[in-house]
Structure 1
Amino acid sequence: MFRKPAVPTVTNRSYVEGQSNGRLPSMGSKEPVREEKVVLKKKVTLLRGVSIIIGTIIGAGIFISPKGILENTGSVGMSLVVWTVCGILSLFGALCYAELGTCIKKSGGHYTYILEAFGPLPAFVRVWVELLVIRPAATAVISLAFGRHILEPLFMQCEIPDLAIKFITAVGITVVMVLNSMSVSWSARLQIFLTFCKLVAILIIIVPGVMQLIKGEIQHFKKAFEGTNTSVMGLPLAFYSGMYAYSGWFYLNFVTEEVENPEKNIPLAIGISMVTVTLGYVLTNIAYFTTISPEELLSSNAVAVTFAEQLMGRFSLAVPIFVALSCFGSMNGGIFAVSRMFYVASREGHLPEILSMIHVRKHTPLPAVIVLHPLTMIMLFTSELEDLLNFLSFARWLFIGLAVAGLIYLRYKCPDMPRPFKVPLFIPALFSFTCLFMAALSLGSDPLNTGIGFVITLTGVPAYYLFIVWDKKPKWFRKIVGKSKHFLKKVQYGKKSRVIDYLIVRSLVPWTYKTVILV
């Protein structure tokens, strides 16, 4: 059922270990078992790369509550400046990752770059906190927004029950996990479609906004900078909110090994995506202010819905559906990309071996995908939304800053490394400082919850020495691990593989099994 790329060894017919070439012998052959190259296929084209980046950046924030920036800037003009500057800073970070992705042609994103620059310990801590906190929390946050907005048209006159939101959220998470387990092509095609839906949703807001400007609705832009917040923490917190809204530009680097012609397509996809998103965000906010006053925007729980209700009448019912599709696209893109980090970390020996196994027919890293399911469900039903945001923000910016600092270090450590795409040195210097500043800012603004995230991050250090460095583990532990690996290697191509397929899908989402199996 699965095959694992690692060190070439002789195995049975159901497994192939290593990046070596070869063929499986016939069933009656007495020849030694030869190795077959088993890798994730290069199915990410330029269009799919653009859809991964745009589809994960544009979530619910721009539609629901862009008030964090306005709240901390105090004026319409300064909020638009912050949206623009955050887009440029995010472009700088994306360009740094374009250089890293074209000179280090391995999947894994932050983990891989930290491993290449600074060694195994910080890389392990990175993937440890990603597995325990960042990815389950990020998926739970965006999935809750999906659940709320997909139900909103059914509860227009009353409050949506929390249990209903969490139930439909759990269904959405499960469907995304199953889809990414069963087919790379279909998950990529779905991402393209959902990205198109996001852009349509943004245009639904921008076009009426432009028409309002043509009609002369500029009252909220007069004295645009009046009331600007000049406090020490105001602008930094506004930039913090803005950078969070643009986060997601790094996801294409998680799937570098699956990108066609990465030297060309990674920089192109990043450039196209970041320009598109920055223009979309700025124009969307301008459109809001043609119709909604700053006071109305700050008091609204769903700005896009408020905007649509004032301009579009009954058509405003479609807005929550588009927001839900936007959130679903972010869920799909995030799971698609981050599962590759776990796959690569397992291949490097930093996570259990099962996570680097590839399905022989579907060519998906199925175990690396489904490992997130129980962790995300725990986050969904046990944590508060605000706590999750603080947990993931601190660790995310800390390690992104470290990865970009690694780019500077590699310039001096490996000056002769081929670099098809290269950015001026001031760009990674500025961006790494920005990331580390935001990590410190999150620690200062919410020391309790962010401190908990910091402690969880530090647990990766003893975990590294316990699980990776310590090689004198008890016999009973090694025996259990050995039996588990032996069982997995007994899984064959035929009926047994299909039975395992059935059990995996059935255990995740029994009520959609017949539909999913068609994929």
Structure 2
Amino acid sequence: MSGGNSTTSSTSDREGVALVRQIRIIPFSSLIIGTVIGSGIFISPKGILEYTHTVGLSMVIWVVCGLISTLGALSYGELGTTFSKTGGDFIFLLESFGPMAAFLRVWTTIVVVRPASWAVLAITSATYIITPFYPDCNVSLSAVRLLAATILCVVFLINCVSVPLTSRLNVFFTIVKLAGLIVIVVAGIVLLIQGNTDNFKDAFKGNEEFKWIELSLAFYSGLFAFSGWHIAASITEEVINPSRTIPVSTVIAMTVITSVYIMANIAYFTVLSPAEILASDAVALSFGQKVFGDWAWILSIVVAGSCIGAINGGVLSSSRMNFAASREGQLPKLLSMIHINFKTPMPSAVIMLPLTLLLLVSDNVYSLINYMSFTFWLFIGLTTASIPYFRMKYPDWERPFKVNLAVPIIFTCFALFVVAVSLYSAPKDCGIGLAITVAGIPLYFIGVRWTEKPVWFEDGMDNFTLFCQKLMLVVEGEKKED
């Protein structure tokens, strides 16, 4: 899909245009926390309880999911400090499993994974912003979609014009969502001290018989709430002192996330019975209505801010993956260009906005996410499996941060276990997801492997690239070596 040699502005000759190292430990930790803590912990912790049937086992699942996610994040930390180029698992797959695997990863991310998840988050945030204004009637779906579209456009605009502003926005929304969770945790602790412990008695006894096949589905729900940690390795080129910042920020972020998740669930069970949690589509609001009464709307704003923060962090990381894929010749050259003044990969962010907005009108966005979960975990597992491969093939590589080899092996086995179980438990969804992934193979051969394209096509791409360069004031960035 790489276009021909486009004409770039003379500005690139005047001074180097490249991504700038601007992100320190606190903003980077906030990016991870802000991306991981989206809507999951506020809206659907009942997913684990639905499959475990007991309070005690559900808490065990939350702990294990936090530990497994930390292993994955640390594995990505080693890869992120080993490779100096931005792009995250696209680069890691490119270097280990080859260009086709890397292309399919970025293909599924651009087409469905990210746009669908952002559409869901935008709709969720818009719903929770509007709902308090309509206490006695149903919220207009058109109003929700319009506000969701506005939220998306603003977040994408900020990502296009300023990395520091994007980082500060991540910090702000991280503070908002952590403040909301702290309120939930403190309220739960107070009530727990006052003797509200009924739901913790006989914690491992439930009304329904536990089925081992459902244990994997409980893990799946938990891992969904922790998803997003992999973005840490996507912005390596913009991190100050990445050999220290990435591992330190990863440990800080995952420790905070896991601790807050566990304490929030304890608070939920202190106030809500298992039956009430299973009956609720928004556990945090159900909690707030019982504890805070008329002030529960504050938690509604917190949920909305949490979702917006997750979108913001996702756009930041995904645009860098597109940028890296373009720089490696797997996407049009325009996507590897950087704004002259803002020093942001504007085209690689803008490309994802139209499809995300289009998905707002779909009633099947959640189904799209289910379809892609299979390939998501497959690629995540393949990425961490590359660590033992790189250790054996390139033992002399400089690795500023190095994990114990058991860390990526355990995580890879767990990820592949999730993939295998999803094939068994949801073959139709996995089949559709696999079909969407395979659809990228002919595009790979036509766009990437086919180098002798017709002159008219090359000229057309050159003219289109030049037009977009003038429109967005972008030039080709300097390519950094490992």
TM-score (normalizing by structure 1):
0.87
1:278–1:49 distance in 2 versus 1, CA, 3 Å: same
- Please give the alpha-carbon distance, in whole angstroms, between the structure 1 residues aligned to 2:255 and 2:365: 30
Counterpart for residue 322 of structure 2: 342
Change (3 A) 1:115 1:229: farther
Give the residue type in structure 2 aligned to 1:13: S
Counterpart position of 1:189: 168
Higher-Rg member (1/2): 1
1:133-154 deviations in whole A, cap 9, x for unaligned?
Answer: 1111111121121111111111
What are the superposed Cα offsets for residues 59-116 of structure 1, whole Å, 9 maximum, x if unpaired? Answer: 1111112100000001000000000010000000011011111111221111011111
2:418 & 2:121 partners in 1: Cα distance?
A: 21
Contact 2:122 2:152 in 1 (8 A): yes
1:281 and 2:261 aligned: yes
Q: What residue in structure 2 maps to residue 154 of structure 1?
A: 133
Distance 1:58 1:480 in 2: 43
Q: Which amino acid aligns with 1:243?
A: L
Structure-1 residue corresponding to 2:212: 232
Question: Structure 2 residue aligned with 1:166, among 145, 150, 163?
Answer: 145
Identity of aligned residues (%): 43
Q: Alignment partner for residue 465 of structure 1, among 445, 449, 456?
A: 445
- The yes-or-no answer on 1:142 pairing with 2:142 is no
- 1:233 partner SS: helix
1:312 paired residue number: 292
Contact 2:6/2:465 (8 A) holds in 1: no
- Give the Cα separation in 1 of the matches to 2:209 and 2:100: 42
Corresponding residue of 2:384: 404
- The alignment partner of 1:358 has SS state of strand
Per mean C-alpha deviation after superposition, the further-off stretch among 479-488 and 339-348 is 479-488
User: Which residue number in structure 1 is paired with residue 477 of structure 2?
Assistant: none
Partner of 2:57: 78
Q: 1:237 to 1:258 in 2, by over 3 A?
A: same
Match of 1:325 among 305, 314, 324: 305
Work out the CA distance in 1 between the residues paired with 2:5 and 2:331: 19
* Structure 2 match to 1:258: 238
Distance 1:486 1:8, change over 3 A: closer
SS in 2 for 1:59: coil
Shift of 1:407: 1.0
CA contact 1:39–1:363 (8 Å) conserved in 2: yes
The answer for the alignment partner of 1:131 in structure 2 is 110
Contact 2:174 2:309 in 1 (8 A): yes
Number of equivalences? 471
Are the equivalent residues in 1 in contact too, given 2:40–2:224 (CA < 8 A)? no
Contact in 1 for aligned 2:25/2:245 (Cα 8 Å): yes
CA RMSD, Structure 1 to Structure 2 (Å): 1.9
Of 198, 207, 224, the residue aligned with 1:219 is: 198
Unaligned runs of 5+ residues in structure 1 are 1-5, 17-22, 25-35, 501-519
Q: Which amino acid aligns with 1:371?
A: I
| Matched residue, 1:33 | none
2:66 to 87, 91, 97: 87
In the TM superposition, what is the alpha-carbon distance from 1:484 to its structure 2 partner?
2.1
Deviation at 1:486, TM superposition (A): 3.9
Q: Which amino acid aligns with 1:198?
A: K
Q: How far apart, in 1, do the equivalents of 2:349 and 2:466 lie?
A: 21
Q: Distance in 1 between matches of 2:279 and 2:105?
A: 38
1:38-63 residue CA offsets vs partner (Å, 9 max, x unmatched): 21111111111011100011011111
> Bigger relative contact order, structure 1 or 2, given CA contacts below 8 A and separation 6+?
2
* Structure 1 outlier segments of 4+, above 6 Å: 6-10
TM-score when normalising by structure 2? 0.94
For structure 2, the residue ranges without an aligned partner over 5 or more in a row are 475-482
The amino acid across from 1:45 in the alignment is R
- The Cα shift of 1:440 comes to 2.7
Counterpart in the other structure of 2:433: 453
Q: What is the rounded CA distance, in whole Å, between the counterparts of 2:301 and 2:83 in structure 1?
A: 39
Given that 1:141 and 1:388 are in contact with CA atoms closer than 8 Å, whether structure 2 keeps it comes out as no
SS of 2:270's equivalent?
Answer: helix
